[in-house]
Amino acid sequence: MGEAIVITSGKGGVGKTTTTANIGTSLALMDKKVCLIDTDIGLRNLDVIMGLENRIIYDIVDVIQGRCKLQQALIKDKRFDYLSLLPAAQTSDKSSVTTEGMKEIVTELKQEYDYIIIDCPAGIEQGFQNAIAGADRAIVVTTPENSSVRDADRIIGLIEKEDMIEPPRLVINRIRNHMMQNGDMLDVDDIVQLLAIDLIGIVADSEEMIKASNKGEPIALHPNFKSSISYRNIARRILGETVPLQSLEEEKSFMQKVKAFFKI
């Protein structure tokens, strides 16, 4: 019996979909059977980031309205056998999905998969309610900005009312180390203290991530990037391992090291 994890944030554009894609990919890399569900009806993105857009035949609304079987709508990832995607509908409106429909789909998927990662739409309306309906756990994504932390706080309040196995856990995304050190960005500790939930990972902002998203290849596939390791660490923590937080310290170039040594 698998476990369903919803990735949510409240505010848009903080990296829910990227996080979903990368956590899913990382779990699949560790030989777990993973199914990703995109619940952002009308504004689907997960398929694009995964590079699976042109393989979509049926979507989640087709499944809920009985136009196809769940197995028919699932798309196998081109890189792993262990990873599947249930895409959102692009043409229907959000009201075509109900919480009951979502619960049924998630329950069915749990029989076959180890992890079901649900990508939640922004906002706190029906789409959000649908996304969290079938979930056992929640991961809240935020960035070190006041507005996004405020929305995360609101979302955590709403999730705490649902009966989940444990309180939501936090991913702080798009960290720019030099800004955080200068005090221009909220500090990781401050955010964790305010939101008062467990931190499950921090991810630094990087250009590679944008490049990877545009290529339709989750960055978690390329272990030579720092953010890739961040996502893999999150996946390991989901599996219950204890992994220390990565240092955000940027690698210094050789010349910088020499300069630092001579204190120039």
Partner 1 sequence: MQETKPTITIKGTRDGLILFIDENSSFEEIVQDLIKKLDESSPKKEEPVVSVKVKLGHRYLTEEQRNQLKKIIEEKNRFQIEAMESEVIPIKDAKTWLDQSKLKVVNQIVRSGQVLETEGDLLLIGDVNPGGRVRARGNIYIMGNLLGIAHAGTEGDQEAFIAASYMKPAQLRIAEYISRAPDYEADGVYMECGIIDPDQNKIVIDSIKILSKQRKVISAFERRMNNG
Which positions touch partner 1 (CB under 8 A)? 150-151, 153-154, 156-158, 160, 194-196
CB of 134 to partner 1, least distance (A): 23
Q: Which residues of 235-263 are buried (b: 16+ CB within 10 A; e: fewer)?
A: bbbbeeeeeeeeebeeeeeeeeeeeeeee
Residue 18 is labelled as binding a ligand: yes
CB of 106 to partner 1, least distance (A): 26
User: Is residue 120 within 8 Å of residue 97, measured between CB atoms?
Assistant: no
Q: Which is nearer to partner 1, 157 or 223 (CB)?
A: 157
Q: Which is nearer to partner 1, 119 or 151 (CB)?
A: 151
- CA angle in degrees (0–180, nearest 5) for 29-31-33: 105
Residue 14 is labelled as binding a ligand: yes
> What are the residues whose beta carbons fall under 8 Å from the beta carbon of 87, sequence distance 6 or more?
38, 44, 46, 47, 52, 56, 59, 60, 73, 75
Residue 201 is labelled as binding a ligand: no
CB of 62 to partner 1, least distance (A): 34
Residue 12 is labelled as binding a ligand: yes
CB of 10 to partner 1, least distance (A): 9
Q: Which is nearer to partner 1, 193 or 224 (CB)?
A: 193
Q: Which is nearer to partner 1, 77 or 151 (CB)?
A: 151
CB of 158 to partner 1, least distance (A): 8
Q: Which is nearer to partner 1, 183 or 244 (CB)?
A: 183
Residues tagged in the binding site annotation for ATP = 11-18
